Amino acid sequence: MRQDRRVPLSLATVNVNGIRAAVRRGMPAWLEQRRPDVLALQEVRADDATLTGLLEDSLGGGWHVAHVEPTDAGSKGRAGVAVATRLPVRGSRTTLDARFDGTGRWVELDVETPASPTGLLTVVSVYVHSGEAGTPKQDDKMAFLDAAGARMTALHAAAAAGGPQAVVCGDLNIAHTERDIKNWKGNLKKAGFLPEERAHLDGWSAQGWVDVARQLAGPVDGPYSWWSWRGQAFDRDTGWRIDAQWATPGLAERATSCEVDRAATYAERFSDHAPVVAVYGG
């Protein structure tokens, strides 16, 4: 059956850096203004009731929420990912690889929407490890990227075979190119801009995944999505573009906009990350 391309889907992704803190700093006002159809969150750091309560207080009831709380000692209180929508859903998955069960870094939700060519869209919220060059933390990050890449291969193959289109949203903790980080020369040997990390994103692109923000913005610096709380990084726009939406080709060709909701001032930030909001269809 032919899908109606005139019906748009608004999809927002944001690392909230602790949803309780984000609420105190003004996140509900942003939610009320944007009113996304689908919301992907990272570093939730809260339970299901707290997350659902925020959404209901801001936008009313009727939310379907797929949420993974971290349970292991190294991630508890620090991670947590979720996808929320009031659109009809078909199912969800929380396991990427047994090694990362309990880390709260990957969740999938299947959403019914005519914005997808097949009427069904798999939305992934991912929070990649920050890593630390030359340490076990970096080994964990690379292993996670291997697991994520394997799952993305399967999602891409399903979309190519006429199954659900897919979009992987979240905090990748990797700046892909020199355009994606202000001080790239000073970070060549640091986690987040290492050649072996960036090679994973090269692989996604070679497979056919599309970095939607880059596709629409073209070869420009940024737009950045993360700035340190410290110093004048935000005011000077010394940032990193590490939050993204990577879509399968059938969905990416329907992207009409992808914006970074950068706060007007430092004082108005509700996280050290800014939301990345894309519209598909329409």
Measured distance CA(113)–CA(96) in Å, rounded: 24
Exactly one of 37, 110, 129, 171 is catalytic; name it: 171
Tokens 């659109």 locate to: 87
Q: What angle do CA 82, 86, 88 make, to 5 degrees?
A: 100
Residues written for the chain: 282
Is 273 labeled as ligand-binding? yes
Is 173 labeled as ligand-binding? yes
Q: Is residue 127 annotated as a catalytic residue, yes or no?
A: yes
Exactly one of 37, 67, 110, 127 is catalytic; name it: 127
Exactly one of 37, 211, 273, 280 is catalytic; name it: 273
Q: Is residue 202 annotated as a catalytic residue, yes or no?
A: no
Residue type, 272: D
Is 171 labeled as ligand-binding? yes
Q: Phi-psi bin for 276: left (phi > 0), alpha (psi -120 to 50), beta?
A: beta
DSSP 129-174: ----TTSHHHHHHHHHHHHHHHHHHHHHHHHHTTS-EEEEEEE---
Is 187 labeled as ligand-binding? no
Is 183 labeled as ligand-binding? no
Is 17 labeled as ligand-binding? no
Q: Which residues are catalytic?
A: 127, 171, 273
Q: Which residues are annotated as a binding site for Mg(2+)?
A: 15, 43, 171, 173, 272-273
Q: Which residues are annotated as a binding site?
A: 15, 43, 171, 173, 272-273
